[in-house]
Amino acid sequence: MYNSPIFKIKIFSILRVFAVFLALSAFSAPAFSQHDAPGHGQEAHETGAGEEKKFEPSEVILEHIADSHSWHLWGHTHIPLPVILYTDKGIETFSSSHLDHGHYAGKYYTYALEHNKIKVVNAEGQIDEAATKNVWDFSITRNVASMWLSIILLMVIFISVSSAYKKREGKAPKGLQSFLEPVILFVRDDIAKPNIGHKYARFMPLLLTMFFFIWINNLIGLVPFFPGGANLTGNIAVTLVMAAITLIVVNVNGNKYYWKHILLPDVPKWIYPIMWPVEIVGIFSKPFALMIRLFANITAGHIIVLSLISLIFVFKSFAIAPVSVAFVVFMDVLELLVAVLQAFIFTLLTALFIGNAIEEHHH
Amino acid sequence: MIGSIAALGAGLAVIGAGIGIGQIGGKAVEGIARQPEAASKIQGAMIIAAALVEGAALFGVVVSFLGLR
């Protein structure tokens, strides 16, 4: 696949398009961060006019990589997202725009935002941690909205491509088809077949879904303005669910050799009490490593890009901007590689674990 | 203080991963130089091994990240 000239040209032109996008985004990024400065500045304005609060890079960065109840567009414009709370008294829904200006009195409790988390406020205006424990937050946050967007995108792309395959059966692929075909064949021939063996076809839907879901969400996460801007694959809950799917698929499909290897390995009987805990930890540690790897890679990428942009504000000088922007463009292009590499690694290791679990042994 | 120690921890984790991935990359290039026709297979194995080493390093980074809070 690496030697296919079509693939090379496609990847190269896509890289160029993205490079242009990212160059533009890097310039808009200072404006992006600047919005935060007034955010913290508001308090400063209240206490003493003109006196800016000190810029705290780690605060800004952690806020940007975390989930949020609104989707930032530009300047002070946000898209408010719905808040859905399951409280001990009933379900409560309202728009997050009510929380922009302090407290909001809902049907059952009064709420406020603290570090982008919804907290219950008691009558004195203090945050009530005990009551907050009774409230479960099922809101459509930025990450959820971004995930739905990526799902719609994937559905549109793949339904159109699969219908094109039905329509043009036996003919050469065309358009979007010819871009996706080498990638799908790559997942089949370089990930599924060598690692799973001849039973690979059953697991292709799972592997393809994982590959494209991670890839497209990594790419959307790299776009700093509206349709992007969420850090979905850098959210540990998302990677946890994907790793849990891997755990379930591997263990449900595990054959008797797999279980024999775990429960009755070919070692003297008296070592069994040592072997069982080790093997059982091994079952869970593999998906756990998958979870941490994807989460930490994507989060680290976002932190590096945001720290480079923060340099401009730390030094408070435009002179540093060209250096910072150049590094950001370099890192973003590197992140394009990491985006596809992490999708590849996750899918590959899933295929490897499945392959180990369904392998037939001949003793 | 805790922040600085966390940063030191992240740095130590990166040293280990750096040595590990350096070894993997170096040996892979050696292998490819000896047998260029096996390049694609070596690359595949190299990426898997590098990802596993990197995973271990990222555990360290995540733990130090938790220490930061």
A309-339 residue pLDDT tens: 888 888 888 888 899 999 999 989 988 988 9
Q: Could you tell me the pTM of the whole model?
A: 0.79
Give the Cα separation of A224 and A23 in Å (integer).
Answer: 11
Contact assessment for residue A15 and residue A187, using Cβ atoms and an 8 Å cutoff: no
Residue A103 shares a structural domain with residue A197: no
CB contact under 8 A, B55 and A2: no
Write down the pLDDT at residue A52. 57
Residue A222 domain-assigned? yes
Q: What is the pLDDT of residue A49?
A: 40
- CA A261 from chain centre, in angstroms, equals 34
Task: Give me the residue from B44, B51, B68 closest to A293, CB to CB.
Answer: B51
Is A299 within a domain?
yes
Taking residues B19-46, what's their average pLDDT?
Answer: 92
Search chain A and give the residue with CA nearest B50: A345
CB distance A190–B44 less than 8 Å? yes
- Residue ranges of A 57-76 with Cβ closer than 8 A to chain B: 58
Percent of chain B at pLDDT > 70 equals 94
Is A148 in the same domain as A108? no
Residue A182 lies in a domain: yes
For residues A50 and A177, what is the distance between their CA atoms, to the nearest angstrom?
A: 57
Q: Is A333 exposed, middle or buried (0-12, 13-18, 19+ CB in 10 A)?
A: middle
Q: Which of B48, B59, B68 sits opposite A292 (nearest CB)?
A: B59
End-to-end distance of chain B based on CA atoms, in angstroms?
Answer: 12
**Count of domains forming chain A:** 2
Chain B residues in contact with A295 by the CB 8 A cut-off are: 62
Let me know whether A150 and A168 are in one domain.
yes
User: Which pLDDT belongs to residue A28?
Assistant: 44
Helix then strand then coil, in percent of chain B rounded to 5, is 95, 0, 5
Residues A95 and A151 in one domain: no
φ/ψ of residue A141, rounded to 5: -85, 180
DSSP A188: I
User: CA of A62: which chain B residue's CA is closest?
Assistant: B69
CA–CA min distance A292, chain B (Å) = 7
A52 in a domain, yes or no? no
Contact B54 A297 (CB under 8 A): yes
CATH code of B47's domain: 1.20.20.10
DSSP sequence for B38-68: GHHHHHHHHHHHHHHHHHHHHHHHHHHHHHH
Domain residue limits at A299 = 143-358
The predicted structure's pLDDT at residue A47 = 39
- The one-letter code for the residue type at B57 is A
Residues of A in contact with B48 (CB under 8 A): 345, 348-349, 352
What pLDDT is recorded for position A188? 93
For position A46, what pLDDT does the model report?
38
The whole-number pLDDT of residue A208 equals 94
Q: Provide the 10 A C-beta neighbour count for residue B17.
A: 19
Q: Do A124 and A175 lie in a common domain?
A: no
B58:A293 CB<8 A: yes
Same domain, A119 and A173: no
The boundaries of the domain holding residue B9 are 2-68
Mutation for testing the B interface, residue in A186, A189, A233, A345 having most B CBs under 10 Å: A345
Same domain, A115 and A98: yes
Assigned domain for A14 exists: no
Q: Which of A112, A139, A166 is the last residue of a domain?
A: A139
Residues of chain A with confidence (pLDDT) below 70: 1-53, 362-363
Q: Cβ of A294 under 8 Å from any chain B Cβ?
A: no
Q: Does A151 reside within a domain? A: yes
pLDDT band at B20, cuts 50/70/90? very high
- The reported pLDDT for the residue numbered A346 is 93
The amino acid occupying position A290 is L
Identity at A260, one-letter amino acid code: K
Residue of A nearest to B40 (CA): A2
pLDDT for the residue B25: 93
- Residue of chain B with shortest Cα separation from A294: B55
Q: b/e for A99-133, b at 16 or more Cβ within 10 A?
A: beeeebebebbbbbbeebebbbbeeeeeebeebbe
- What was the pLDDT predicted at A34? 43
Q: Do residues A191 and A322 both lie within one domain?
A: yes
Q: What is the dihedral of CA A82, A221, A293, A137, to 10 degrees?
A: -10
Q: Does A339 touch chain B (CB under 8 A)?
A: no
What total of structural domains would you count in chain B? 1
Residues 6+ apart with CB under 8 A from A256: none
Contacts of B55 in chain A (CB under 8 A): 289, 292-293
Greatest CA separation for chain B: 53
Measured CA to CA, the distance from residue A11 to residue A24 in angstroms comes to 20
Helix or strand run (H / E) with residue A110 = strand A110-114
Please tell me whether residues A91 and A239 are part of one structural domain.
no
Nearest chain B CA: its distance from A349 CA (Å): 8
Residues of A with CB below 8 A from B39's CB? none
Regarding whether A249 and A127 lie in a shared domain, the answer is no
Q: How does pLDDT run across A224-252, given as a tens digit for each residue? A: 887 877 889 988 899 999 999 999 999 99
